Amino acid sequence: MHICNLARFGLTLTALLSASTAAARDDMTHEVCSPDTRTCFLLTTVGEIPTYRVTRDGKPVIAPSRLGFMLRGDGKFEHATALGQASFSEADERWEQPWGENRWVRDHYREMKVPIVELIGGKRRIELIARVFDHGVGFRFAFPDQPQLHDVQIDEELTEFNIAGTAEAWWIPAGEWNRYEYLYSRTPANQVGTAHSPISFRRDDGLHIAIHEAALVNYASFWLQRIDGQRFRTRLSPSSQPSKVRRAAPFETPWRTILIAEDAPGLYAASDMILSLNEPNKLGDVSWVKPLKYIGIWWAMHLDQASWHSGPKHGATTENTLKYIDFAAKHGFDAVLVEGWNDGWDGNWIGDHGRNFDFATAYPDFDMDRIAAHARKMGVAIMGHHETAGNSGRYAAQMDAAFDYYARHGIPAVKTGYVADAGGVLHRDKDGNDIWDWHDGQYQVRHHQAVVEAAAKRRISINAHEPVKDTGLRRTWPNMVSREGARGMEYQAWGDPPNPPEHEANLAFTRMLSGPMDYTPGIVSLVGKGGRRIPSTLAKQLANYVVIYSPVQMAADLPEHYEARPAAFDFIKRVPADWEVTRVLGGAIGDYAVFARQRRGGDDWYVGGVTDKAARDFTVDFAFLPAGKRYSATIWRDGAGGGIDGDPFAMAIETKTVTAATTWPVRMAAGGGFAIALTPAR
Ligand code: NOJ
Ligand code: CA
């Protein structure tokens, strides 16, 4: 086909003719469009280089962008290629999340598979698989087994994303020392450097585009390196090995994903495409994976009021842990996170690269048997903690014993941690030499998968800090419940600078497109280390429980701070961590975000709204409620004189009856927000 399709690539007829004299095969273009036909993915070759583009309503979203690989051995796979016959299929299925933002996810797409064949040399062949959804595209490469391409060593992947139309971008830098823990930059798209994904773009005409990946399994993560203008190319995270990725064919790369929506709420709504591109659950019965709300021996360390290491300030003592368990039981929390309970924190655990951590030996002042027995009696779980300091090799060697130890003590979830500079993931070669890898390279991607599988054997869920980015693997391994992978609340204790007021409105439409975040909300004291003020209102701390999704959701502040703020604590105690349905009621990246979510298996709803440093009026339209039913709605909102420049604790609480026909104007103060709990009226 299709001269006309090629013309839609923006090629002149002359260019087309000269290209096709150079390569007789350049006239072949294959196209697949979404079920609603508005979004299309087109694949052709230009100058015998595989080139794709994406359109919406016939207009370019991704302008012509090259595809290819740098392969070790036989060199670049890109030039002198031709396309083979395309084959097509489609699917429209609904699948159930065991836990999540929505119980049901619709997986609805049209798919095209196209062989890409070298015309020269070893005549190697790969296959491009594209799935086009109404609000996005996923494509990946399959490497079939062939004598000339069996031991596949990928030095670089050359997938480009050439953003069409002038756009702004929200992004964090990749390849820098602090992994994913950066403040979001908002720049013209043509001023991005090298960025992590998800990266979100807003075009001048309002169209929103977000680029990410799905099903990152046994491969290196990509960074997006800007080449020129608004043209980006994948740059795979580095490896200690000669090639960034080494795989035996046959295999498939992760999906490269492009979400397309009219606005920021649409981007969030479209992001379940990333989940759908992952394989279904491989763990069978996962009823043991339980969303939970937890408190923890945690914030005190970040305030420097307690220590992870042993000594007079040791936080994880038996006595302290028993107190936390009692507090959790009294207030209906499911679990208590305990950090700093195990051997290895003394001295410089970061500088020593965690070489002293022992994951199954408790400090002498931490009586695990007694604590586990008390927790069981009180109906509260312990959330375990494995800080590795990036020493994944040491952890991998101990993890079976470590998970057995936790399983023996009835521990259902473990927070892991990899505090080390990027490039500081340590393991050993077979001769015992130190090897250094990246937090998002192929080695560590495999490590996380091994951890999650070892944990699953013991019915333990994993919440990883300093992780690799989320690519929807929770669909396949539902015990991979949450992760960090962005600046969390800890930065409000000691970050320089702390997270600014726009942070949550940035996260909602960037980081959160990839999946749950263990943000650790709920600092109702609004003070960090040394008494420094947190740039947030009290009401916003509550709103974060609805805006920033995680199936393991922390009430991160100290128990005494909750006791001092009972009205705020009331909302934190009520809000669930698992949802039936999610609706994004409004938002603009980095400005504000308003979410409504229905409790999983319940008929109560929650609404959370956050704003940046600007005060903002938002009218909540309750049209998401079932028609004809009356709800009692209680709001926790910024009060008169509130805001980060006024009294951040000023909070008004009111209750009224609403129906699907009600609208309720709410004022968010500077750096503020609001939270609403809705229960059916009696
Ligand atoms: C960094 C994690 O993000 C934080 O939550 C944890 O307390 C420390 N590492 C220590 O493991
Ligand atoms: Ca961290």
Instruction: Report which of 460, 294, 309, 291 is spatially closest to residue 375, judged by C-alpha positions.
Output: 294
Query: Is any ligand 1 atom within 6 A of the Cβ of residue 465?
Result: yes
Q: Domain 6-276 adopts which CATH fold?
A: Beta-galactosidase; Chain A, domain 5 (2.70.98)
- pLDDT above 70 covers a percentage of the chain that reads 96
Structure confidence at residue 318 (pLDDT) = 98
Query: Is any ligand 1 atom within 6 A of the Cβ of residue 484?
Result: yes
Q: How far is the CA of 339 from the centre of ligand 2 (A)?
A: 13
pLDDT tens string 88-103 = 999 999 999 999 999 9
CA-CA-CA-CA torsion for 304, 307, 311, 314, nearest 10 degrees?
110
Rounded Cα gap, residues 609 and 509, in angstroms: 13
**pTM of this prediction?**
0.95
Alpha carbon 563 to chain centroid distance?
32
Task: Name the active-site residue from 181, 490, 502, 580.
Answer: 490
pLDDT of 347 over the 60 cut: yes
191-207 burial: b if 16+ Cβ within 10 Å, else e: ebebbbbbbbbbbeeeb
- Residue 490 annotated among the catalytic residues of the structure: yes
- pLDDT above 90 covers a percentage of the chain that reads 95
Strand partners for 554? 294
Q: How far is the CA of 675 from the centre of ligand 2 (A)?
A: 26
Do 284-485 and 487-525+536-548+566-682 come out as alike in CATH topology? yes
pLDDT tens string 459-490 = 999 999 999 999 999 999 999 999 999 999 99
Structure confidence at residue 25 (pLDDT) = 54
Query: Is any ligand 1 atom within 6 A of the Cβ of residue 419?
Result: yes
pLDDT of 16 over the 90 cut: no
Label residue 27 by pLDDT band (50, 70, 90). low
Q: Which CATH number fits domain 487-525+536-548+566-682: 3.20.20.70, 1.10.645.10, 3.30.450.20, 3.40.50.300?
A: 3.20.20.70
Q: Are 102 and 579 in contact (CB under 8 A)?
A: yes
φ, ψ at 397 (rounded to 5°): -70, -30
Q: Where are the domains of the chain?
A: 6-276, 284-485, 487-525+536-548+566-682
Q: Using the atom order of ligand 1, give the atom closest to the CA of residue 520.
A: 5
Query: Is any ligand 1 atom within 6 A of the Cβ of residue 31?
Result: no
Q: Which CATH superfamily is domain 284-485 in?
A: Aldolase class I (3.20.20.70)
pLDDT tens string 70-89 = 999 888 999 999 999 999 99
How many Cβ atoms sit within 10 Å of the Cβ of residue 240? Answer: 16
Q: How far is the CA of 519 from the centre of ligand 2 (A)?
A: 10
φ, ψ at 663 (rounded to 5°): -120, 150
243-274 burial: b if 16+ Cβ within 10 Å, else e: bbbbbeeebbbbbbbbbbbebbbbbbbbbbbb
- 349, 353, 465: residue to mutate for ligand 1 pocket, most atoms within 8 A of CB: 465
Average pLDDT over residues 269-296: 98
Instruction: For the chain, give the mean pLDDT.
Output: 95
φ, ψ at 34 (rounded to 5°): -65, 165
Label residue 26 by pLDDT band (50, 70, 90). low
Beta pairing, strands 413-417 & 381-387: parallel
Residue nearest to atom 10 of ligand 1 (CA): 387
Amino acid of residue 408: R
